[in-house]
Structure 1
């Protein structure tokens, strides 16, 4: 029923703007940071800042400077690596989920009986 009544595809203005500039918006599931390449880049940036913030003064200005330097050190190759890593992870997880769904659809059997045995076991009662 959902498929029959669901609108075909929601379009957002940002999608059209991105497309006009040669880009495509890719939406990932919320709360799945492992599927978001920028989280891996951000980890590199934070790691650089943490490794280099070892002497006083420990100030906001100093940290902002370290973060700017760290951002400038991120290369196209870094992005290629993390995008490929996330793409691989998404593909592996998708394929795993398909296998699990197939197992569930084909191999799980739930027997329903009118027994009042609350232990879930069938057969004779123990003495």
Structure 2
């Protein structure tokens, strides 16, 4: 915390409590992180939607990476891992991921997302049907408890 604050030239010292340091960090953090690519997309009428960082199954690029890794493994260059051979293998593998592949990856991700939405609706309905009231007691329960 001290290092973060000192790097931003915020007055602080080691005798300060963590809660004070944290409040200073909150006060001096950047308002909102902006990305050039987001602004470029916005200028063209698009909006960038960020996915949760650990939700790999909703990222089409993960399917492309899987194909790329599989192709590199299949070429088995373990006998010649020179920089030139590795670069050539990577380049060939990258070129093998086609526009048709991307369309398929995006279609799969969209189908999975729709399935998640469908399941979420089913779960939400099921949860809404199960209501447990912990504040009131049933009179028959009270009677059984006293007998």
Q: Is the 8 A contact 2:68 2:93 kept in 1?
A: yes
- 1:62-112 deviation per Cα after TM superposition (whole angstroms, max 9, x unaligned): 33321111001111100000000001101110111111011101x213243
1:100 equivalenced with 2:127 (yes/no): no
- Residues 1:76 and 2:99 aligned together: yes
- Match of residue 47 from structure 1: 70
What count of residue pairs does the alignment treat as equivalent? 109
Q: Which has the higher contact order (CA 8 A, sep 6+)?
A: 1
CA distance in 1 between counterparts of 2:91 and 2:34 reads: 35
Name whichever of 94-103 and 39-48 sits farther off: 94-103
Q: How does 1:108-119 map to 2 (within 5 A)?
A: 108-112=130-134
> Which structure 2 segments of 5+ residues have no match?
1-32, 137-143
Q: Gaps spanning 5+ residues in structure 1: where?
A: 1-9, 115-123
Tell me what 1:62 maps to: 85
CA deviation vs aligned residue, 1:24-57 (integer Å, no higher than 9, x gap): 4232222110000000001101100000025512
- Higher-Rg member (1/2): 2
CA distance in 1, matches of 2:64, 2:45: 23
Q: Tell me the TM-score normalised to structure 1 length.
A: 0.69
CA distance in 1: counterparts of 2:44 and 2:88, whole angstroms: 31
CA RMSD of aligned residues (A): 3.1
Tell me, in whole angstroms, the C-alpha distance in 1 between the residues paired with 2:36 and 2:86: 36
Give 1:113 deviation, angstroms. Answer: 7.1
CA distance in 2, matches of 1:111, 1:23: 46
